[in-house]
């Protein structure tokens, strides 16, 4: 891949991109941004997330790599979405929805102000 990467690209970063990622230090990387900062010819700064084998982000990193050594990643699954959770629950909410039906949770929050 000698084309400049763009946000959203999924790349394999290994020893071809930079010696610091050789061997067992290779990683799968989801690009978030590409720096316009001047660098040596053929090198680039990328910001993004390191993905594990399940496609979940494990760390945010900024890496300095050779454009000629970048390759599209293959075989990495799309990340699973976590179950949606409620942003908050009232003290009276027992999980059966009764607090929402009788609005007791709303009254408790309004009284606390």
| pLDDT computed for residue 75 by the predictor | 73
CA atoms within 13 A on the CB side of 32: 11
**Which residues have CB under 8 Å from 44's CB, separation 6+?**
4, 5, 34, 35, 64, 65, 66, 67
Hey, what are 105's tokens?
A: 């949770």
If pLDDT is split at 50, 70 and 90, which confidence band does 21 have? very high
| Over residues 29-56, mean pLDDT | 95
| pLDDT computed for residue 3 by the predictor | 78
| Over residues 64-88, mean pLDDT | 76
pLDDT, mean over the chain: 81
| Over residues 67-88, mean pLDDT | 73
Summarize pLDDT for 50-60 with one digit per residue, the tens: 999 999 999 99
The C-alpha atoms of residue 5 and residue 8 are separated, in whole angstroms, by 9
Q: Is this structure's pTM higher than 0.75?
A: no
């Amino acid at each position: 891949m000698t084309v400049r990467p763009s946000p959203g690209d999924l790349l394999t970063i290994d020893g071809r991109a930079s010696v610091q990622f050789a061997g067992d230090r290779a990683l799968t990387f989801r690009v978030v941004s590409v720096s316009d900062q001047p660098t040596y010819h053929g090198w680039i700064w990328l910001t993004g997330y390191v993905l594990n084998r399940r496609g979940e982000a494990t760390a945010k990193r900024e890496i300095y790599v050779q454009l000629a050594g970048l390759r599209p990643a293959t075989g990495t699954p799309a990340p699973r979405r976590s179950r949606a959770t409620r942003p908050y629950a009232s003290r009276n909410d027992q999980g059966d929805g009764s607090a929402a039906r009788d609005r007791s949770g709303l009254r408790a929050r309004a009284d606390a102000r």
